[in-house]
Amino acid sequence: MDLQVLRFFREVADGATVTDTAARAHLTQPALSRALRRIEHEAGAELFRRSGRVLRLTPAGHAFKMHVDDVLDHYDQGLRAVEEIVAPETGLVQLAFLRTFGTWLVPAVISSFLELWPRARFELRQHGEALLVDELVDGTSDLVITSRDPGNPQLVWERVLVEPLRLAVPPNHRLAHRKKAKLAEVADESFITLRQGYALRETTELLCAEAGFAPHICYEADEVATLRGLVTARLGVSLLPLPQTATFPPSPTGHPALHLGVTDVRAERDIGMAWAAGRTLPPLSETFRRHVLATAPLTLPGDYAG
């Protein structure tokens, strides 16, 4: 049994059809089917059962796949380790990050890093906070950029920068003519937040409590861009970072949400980088880690001043 056949097995086990897998591998469908049957013969058990056009894992197949994943992951890590030694400047950095950082922070630090290490490659993933922790614990990513310390003893977290938050209000809001406001001034209004489990949701509730009230939450979502759109649609107010992209879609009415400075509480959120404790980072990933910690504080735009 060779490793390529195991990769075919994993692809089919993850839901791909035999036809599509064979086409990608430039094999005939019968040839791939024979390869999968050889695996079953060596395992001494039926690993798949047909369900329509796809094959589903049997209980024995699920047990076998766990070990196949380990074998292939360890093999790929070994190849990567050799690559890092032979040609460290051409290595791969596996990076995961919070979705909101994909429009400004992550592109900025990668771009500046590639100016120094132009042959470096990146494998990028975007998630919410909970899945970012899984990326590190499972070894899927070397580094993650997230909005707070996950508080996980298996991880090391270091603050990179502090991002201000603004009070986002609709364009027709009674405070729309102001540049700054107290958070307490919207204590009786409807709030739009991320769902439970997101750091920004927790930060919003803590800041409102500090301002002397519990927010009345009328809408929840999974993306900051959605929150901003709901505010623009005059459905409530929210605590948000400024939109950090020149391509941010305009309001359908031509009047986007306004972002006011908050004066009665320290409205901000931590942005940090985490990695697995006790696990030595590949050389290029370690170089990138140091680069981010040194350069990311320079990425906040000038309109955050004041």
Say what percent of the chain tops pLDDT 90: 42
285 shares a domain with 140: yes
DSSP conformation class of 256: P
- Most confident range (mean pLDDT) of 49-58, 200-209, 288-297 is 200-209
Residues 74 and 131 in one domain: no
Confidence label for 90 from pLDDT (cuts 50, 70 and 90): low
| More confident: 184 or 29 | 184
Assess whether pLDDT exceeds 90 at residue 182. Answer: yes
pLDDT of 300 reads 62
Q: At what angle do helices 283-295 and 105-116 cross, to 10 degrees?
A: 120
pLDDT single digits (tens) 2-19: 888 888 888 888 888 888
Per-residue HEC secondary structure of 36-87 comes to HHHHHHHHCCCCEEEECCEEEECHHHHHHHHHHHHHHHHHHHHHHHHHHHHC
The pLDDT value given to residue 305: 38
Q: Which domain holds residue 197?
A: 166-266
pLDDT for 81 beyond 80: no
pLDDT one-digit tens code per residue, 237-276: 999 998 764 333 344 444 677 999 999 999 999 999 999 9
The mean pLDDT value for 137-144 works out to: 88
| Residue that is last in its domain, among 84, 114, 143 | 84
Same domain for 141 and 173?
no
Q: Which residue has the higher pLDDT, 230 or 223?
A: 230
The pLDDT, as a whole number, for residue 124 is 94
182 lies in the same domain as 208 = yes
Residue 104 sits in the same domain as residue 191: no
- Report pLDDT for 85: 62
User: How buried is 236 (Cβ within 10 angstroms: 0-12 exposed, 13-18 middle, 19+ buried)?
Assistant: buried
Average pLDDT over residues 56-63: 89
Q: Specify whether 65 is located in the same domain as 103.
A: no
Residues 6+ positions from 204 with CB-CB distance below 8 Å: 191, 193, 194, 215, 238, 239
Domain of 293: which CATH number? Answer: 3.40.190.10
35-44, 49-58, 147-156, 186-195, range with greatest mean pLDDT:
186-195
Domain boundary among 60, 84, 108: 84
* 10 and 35 housed in the same domain: yes
Q: What is the pLDDT of residue 254?
A: 47
Rounded to the nearest angstrom, the gap between the alpha carbon of residue 3 and the centroid of all alpha carbons in its chain is: 30
Give the model's pLDDT for residue 86.
56
Boundary of a domain, candidates 61, 84, 107: 84
Residue 61 sits in a domain whose CATH number is 1.10.10.10
Q: How does the average pLDDT of the chain come out, rounded?
A: 86
Which of 29-43, 50-64, 288-302 shows the lowest per-residue confidence on average (mean pLDDT)? Answer: 288-302
Total domains, the chain: 3
Same domain, 97 and 147: yes
Question: Is pLDDT of 129 > 60?
Answer: yes
Same domain, 8 and 77: yes
Q: 3-13 vs 29-43: helix axis angle to the nearest 10?
A: 100
Above 60 in pLDDT, residue 306?
Answer: no
55/108 same-domain check: no
Mean pLDDT for 116-137 is 87
Q: Look at residue 303 and tell me whether its pLDDT is greater than 50.
A: no
When computed from its CA atoms, the radius of gyration of the chain, rounded to whole angstroms, is 24
What pLDDT digit, counting tens, does each position of 147-171 carry? 888 888 999 999 999 989 999 999 9
Domain shared by 233 and 198, yes or no:
yes
The verdict on 256 and 222 lying in the same domain is yes
Does the pLDDT of residue 28 top 60, yes or no? Answer: yes
Give the lowest-confidence range in 128-142, 179-193, 228-242, 245-259. Answer: 245-259
